[in-house]
């Protein structure tokens, strides 16, 4: 059976009609025993607390802004923002022209595997000097640019997307396909520039 506490014993004694003085003495003895037990428990706690390593500091609430301790989350966010701002202000690396190797001490820049090309521009640039010679048009840089620009202004643009390795065969295919239109426009451009040179 469970041990009776002092209050329970007192109530039982009253109900049973026993002497109240004997119950008071019993209650006093039980109170003394309880105090001694609690005192010894406190001493044990003090001894175990002194032997254990110090407990980690309590975490700081993000909402509590009155604390002067640094917030590690805020520091991390601040560092990431500073890095992002630094990355925005750094100049972009220049891409190298095709066929040219990067210097050994600089990192290599990857060239995209796909490119878009204007077929008409490629055809006109390759054929412009040939037709300028046929029509006795000046071959200076200004006249060459005028003939090319005038011919391209009257030709519809034809863009293709090709891998770097397949660009040349595709341009050759389209050169034969659109050669008649290019010849007509180059002939008109050569006669116009020959009559009104800008140099």
Q: How far apart are CA 157 and CA 148, in angstroms?
A: 13
Angle, in degrees to the nearest 10, between helices 141-153 and 119-134? 130
Q: Dump pLDDT digits (tens) for 169-179.
A: 888 888 888 98
Q: Dump pLDDT digits (tens) for 50-96.
A: 555 555 666 555 555 555 556 666 677 777 777 777 665 555 555 55
Has residue 10 got a pLDDT over 90? no
pLDDT at 45: 67
What is the 3-state secondary structure of 35-96? HHHHHHHHHHHHHHHHHCCCCCCCCCCCCCCCCCCCCHHHHHHHHHHHHHHHHHHCCCCCCC
For the range 141-148, what are the long-range contacts, defined as Cβ-Cβ under 8 Å and sequence gap of 24 or more?
Answer: 142/197, 142/198, 142/199, 143/193, 143/197, 143/198, 143/199, 146/189, 146/193, 146/197, 146/198, 147/186, 147/189, 147/190, 147/193, 148/124, 148/189
For the chain, the average pLDDT equals 75
pLDDT at 5: 63
pLDDT at 82: 76
User: CA geometry: angle at 139 spanning 135 and 144, to 5°?
Assistant: 95
Q: Dump pLDDT digits (tens) for 131-178.
A: 999 999 999 999 999 999 999 999 999 999 988 888 888 888 888 889
Q: Name the DSSP class of 4.
A: P
Give the domain ranges of the chain: 7-44, 114-195
Asked whether the beta carbons of 123 and 175 are under 8 A apart, the reply is yes
Residue 49 or residue 133, greater confidence: 133
Q: Which pTM does this prediction carry?
A: 0.43
């Amino acid at each position: 059976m469970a041990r009776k506490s002092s209050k329970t014993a007192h109530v039982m004694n009253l109900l049973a009609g026993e002497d109240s003085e004997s119950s008071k003495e019993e209650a006093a003895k039980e109170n003394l025993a309880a105090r001694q037990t609690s005192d010894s428990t406190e001493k044990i706690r003090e001894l175990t607390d002194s032997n254990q390593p110090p407990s980690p500091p309590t975490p700081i609430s993000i909402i509590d802004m009155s604390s002067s301790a640094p917030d590690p989350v805020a520091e991390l966010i601040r560092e990431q923002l500073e890095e992002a701002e630094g990355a925005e202000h750094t100049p972009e690396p220049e891409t190298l022209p095709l066929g040219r190797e990067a210097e050994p001490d600089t990192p290599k820049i990857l060239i995209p595997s796909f490119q878009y090309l204007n077929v008409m521009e490629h055809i006109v640039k390759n054929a412009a000097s040939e037709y300028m010679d046929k029509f006795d048009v000046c071959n200076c840089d200004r006249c060459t640019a005028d003939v090319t620009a005038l011919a391209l202004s009257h030709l519809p643009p034809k863009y293709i997307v090709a891998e770097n390795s397949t660009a040349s065969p595709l341009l050759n295919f389209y050169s034969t396909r659109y050669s008649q239109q290019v010849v007509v426009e180059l002939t008109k451009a050569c006669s116009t520039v020959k009559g009104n040179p800008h140099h």
